[in-house]
Structure 1
Amino acid sequence: MNNKYKTNNSNHKRTKVETILWAGFLGGTLDALAGITVYWLILGRMNIIQVLQWIASGVFGKQAFNGGLAMALVGNILHYTIAYAVTIAYFFAASYLPQLRKNSTIIGLLFGLLIWIIMNIVILPLSNVPPMPFEPLVAAMGISWHMLLVGLPIVRIINKYFDNQ
Structure 2
Amino acid sequence: MRISFRKTEIGPLTAILGGGLTAALLDITYAFVFFGLRGANPVRILQTIASGVLGKAAYQGGAGAAILGAFLHAGIAVVMAAVYVSASRVLPALNRRPWLWGPLYGIGCYLVMNYVVLLLRFGPRPAPHLEVLAGGVAIHMFGVGLPIALFAARAALSSRLPGSTSTPQPAA
TM-score w.r.t. length of structure 2: 0.84
Which residue of the other structure, out of 29, 33, 51, is the alignment partner of 1:33?
29
| 2-structure distance, mates of 1:67, 1:133 | 28
| 2-structure distance, mates of 1:9, 1:85 | 31
Give the letter for the 1:151 counterpart.
Answer: G
Contact in 2 for aligned 1:57/1:129 (Cα 8 Å)? no
| 2-structure distance, mates of 1:114, 1:133 | 18
Which residue of the other structure, out of 72, 80, 89, is the alignment partner of 2:66?
72
What's the counterpart of residue 20 of structure 1?
A: 16
Which residue of the other structure, out of 65, 70, 84, is the alignment partner of 1:90?
84
Superposed CA RMSD in Å reads: 2.0
2:146 is paired with a residue of what secondary structure? helix
Contact in 2 for aligned 1:57/1:128 (Cα 8 Å)? no
1:133: how far off?
4.7
1:39 is paired with a residue of what secondary structure? helix
| 2-structure distance, mates of 1:135, 1:14 | 40
Would you say 1:60 and 2:54 are equivalent positions? yes
TM-score w.r.t. length of structure 1: 0.87
What's the counterpart of residue 43 of structure 1?
A: 38
Contact in 2 for aligned 1:112/1:143 (Cα 8 Å)? yes
What's the counterpart of residue 157 of structure 2?
A: 163
| Runs of at least 5 residues in structure 2 that lack an aligned partner in the other structure | 160-172
The count of residues paired between Structure 1 and Structure 2 equals 156
| 2-structure distance, mates of 1:18, 1:136 | 36
2:128 is paired with a residue of what secondary structure? coil
1:33: how far off?
0.5
Contact in 1 for aligned 2:81/2:148 (Cα 8 Å)? yes
Would you say 1:11 and 2:6 are equivalent positions? yes
1:164 is paired with a residue of what secondary structure? helix
1:43: how far off?
2.0
1:9: how far off?
8.7
